[in-house]
Amino acid sequence: MKACASAPGKVILFGEHFVVYDKPALVSAIDLRAYAEVERSDQGIVLDGWTGENPAVKASAYVAEKLKYSGGINIRIRSSI
């Protein structure tokens, strides 16, 4: 079974760091997207061919652990952003 999701990119017109200080910013979604596909695997956690010490793989392993998922997953990310 494969799960797929996508999200639009964003552009920050002004105030990029203002929000850190609880000030307004002007942001808009753009017509470019990032796509993710996830499916079960027998190979452990694989993110676009990366395994083990890659920080994104470690983060994925952390999420899987918190969700009490002990199987393998293959994650593929593509972006036009």
Predicted confidence (pLDDT) per residue in 19-78, tens digit: 889 999 999 999 999 999 999 998 889 998 888 788 989 999 999 999 999 889 999 999
Q: What is the pLDDT of residue 16?
A: 84
Interval 8-26 mean pLDDT = 90
Query: Domain containing 20: what range?
Result: 2-79
**H or E segment to which residue 60 belongs:** helix 55-66
Q: What is the pLDDT of residue 4?
A: 97
Q: In the sheet that 26-41 helps form, which strands lie side by side, from edge to edge?
A: 2-14, 26-41, 72-79, 45-47
- Is the entire prediction scored with pTM above 0.75? no
User: Which DSSP letter does residue 50 get?
Assistant: B
Total domains present in the chain = 1
Task: Report the CATH number at residue 63.
Answer: 3.30.230.10
Asked whether 78 and 49 are in contact (CB, 8 A), the reply is no
Asked whether 81 and 33 are in contact (CB, 8 A), the reply is yes
Cα separation, 27 vs 14, in Å, equals 7
